[in-house]
C-alpha cells in the first residue's frame, strides 16, 4: 500500500499549522537569538511533537480523547495562559548571557538541561492549546483523512508527515534566525527580551481574559 501520499499530505498539514507566527514562533526566535539555533530548534521540536500527538488523535479517529480534551478547554486555557504569563515575565527580566569559550554548537548540545526545558515548555504549551486539536480534526475531516479504519500504517504515515512538516518549519526558522544572530548586540538583546516578554505576557493575559468572557 502506498504511504507516500499520506506522508506528503501530513507534511503539508504540519507545515501549514506550524507556520503562523504566534507565541511558539516568538519563543523560537527569541531563544535562537539568546541561546543559539540548537535551543531554538529544541523549542520548535517540542511544538512539533505536540502537533504529532494531536495529529495522531485526529488521524486515528480517537474521538473520545478529542472530546475529553475539548471538554476541558477552560482548564487547558487557564494552564496555558498562566504558563505564557510566567514565561513572559521571565523573558522580560532576562539579561543577555556573556559569551562563553568554545564552539557555540558544542556548548548548546552540552546544555542538556536547557535543551530539555526548551523542548518541554513548548510541548506542554502546545498541548494546552485546545485550538490545535480542533485544527487537526477540521483539516483531517475536510480532507477525508480522519480515522482510516483498517489502515493503521496510513495513519502512522500521516502523523509522521505532520511531525516532519512541523519540524521542517522550526528547523528553517531557527537556522535562518541563527544566521543573523551574530549581528545582535547585547543592548539590542535587552530590548528584544523586553519586547518578546511583553508580547508573551500579552498572549497569556488574553488567554486568561477569555475565560471571563
**Among 83, 182, 185, which residue's Cα sits nearest to residue 126?**
83
Q: Are 178 and 108 in contact (CB under 8 A)?
A: no
pTM above 0.75?
A: yes
User: How far apart are the two ends of the chain, measured CA to CA in Å?
Assistant: 49
Q: What is the pLDDT of residue 8?
A: 87
Question: Is the pLDDT assigned to residue 52 strictly greater than 60?
Answer: yes
DSSP the chain: ---HHHHHHHHHHHHHHH-S-SHHHHHHHHHHHHH-HHHHHHHHHHHHHHHHHHHHHHHTT-HHHHHHHHHTHHHHHHHHHHHHHHHHHHHHH--PPPP-SS-HHHHHHH-HHHHHHHHHHHHHHHHT-HHHHHHHHHHHHHTT-S--TT-HHHHHHHHHHHHHHHHHHHHHHHHHHHHTGGG--HHHHHHHHHHHHHHHHHHHHHHHHHTT-
Q: What is the pLDDT of residue 149?
A: 46
Q: Are 75 and 147 in contact (CB under 8 A)?
A: no
Tens digit of each residue's pLDDT (9 = 90 or more) over 111-160: 677 889 999 999 998 888 767 766 776 666 666 655 544 457 777 888 88
Please give the mean pLDDT across all residues of the chain. Answer: 79
For residues 143 and 93, which has the higher predicted lDDT (pLDDT)?
93
Q: Give the lowest-confidence range in 70-74, 157-161, 169-173.
A: 70-74
What is the arithmetic mean of pLDDT over 85-99? 78
What is the arithmetic mean of pLDDT over 68-93? 81
Q: Give the lowest-confidence range in 58-67, 84-93, 191-200.
A: 58-67
Q: What is the pLDDT of residue 92?
A: 86
Tens digit of each residue's pLDDT (9 = 90 or more) over 30-51: 999 988 899 999 999 999 999 8
Amino acid at each position: 500500500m502506498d504511504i507516500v501520499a499520506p506522508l506528503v499530505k501530513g507534511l503539508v498539514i504540519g507545515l501549514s499549522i506550524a507556520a503562523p507566527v504566534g507565541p511558539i514562533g516568538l519563543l523560537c526566535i527569541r531563544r535562537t537569538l539568546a541561546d543559539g539555533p540548537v535551543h531554538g530548534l529544541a523549542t520548535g521540536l517540542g511544538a512539533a511533537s505536540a502537533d504529532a500527538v494531536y495529529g495522531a488523535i485526529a488521524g486515528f479517529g480517537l474521538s473520545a480523547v478529542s472530546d475529553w480534551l475539548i471538554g476541558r478547554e477552560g482548564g487547558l486555557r487557564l494552564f496555558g495562559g498562566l504558563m505564557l504569563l510566567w514565561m513572559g515575565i521571565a523573558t522580560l527580566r532576562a539579561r543577555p548571557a556573556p559569551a562563553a569559550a568554545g564552539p557555540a554548537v558544542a556548548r548548546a548540545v552540552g546544555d542538556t538541561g536547557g535543551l530539555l526545558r526548551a523542548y518541554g515548555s513548548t510541548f506542554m504549551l502546545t498541548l494546552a492549546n485546545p485550538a490545535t486539536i480542533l485544527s487537526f480534526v477540521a483539516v483531517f475531516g475536510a480532507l477525508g483523512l480522519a480515522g482510516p479504519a483498517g489502515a493503521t500504517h496510513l495513519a502512522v504515515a500521516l502523523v509522521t508527515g505532520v511531525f516532519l512538516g512541523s519540524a521542517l518549519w522550526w528547523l528553517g526558522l531557527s537556522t535562518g534566525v541563527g544566521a543573523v544572530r551574530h549581528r545582535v548586540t547585547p543592548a539590542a538583546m535587552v530590548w528584544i527580551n523586553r519586547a518578546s516578554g511583553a508580547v508573551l505576557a500579552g498572549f497569556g493575559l488574553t488567554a486568561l481574559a477569555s475565560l471571563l468572557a
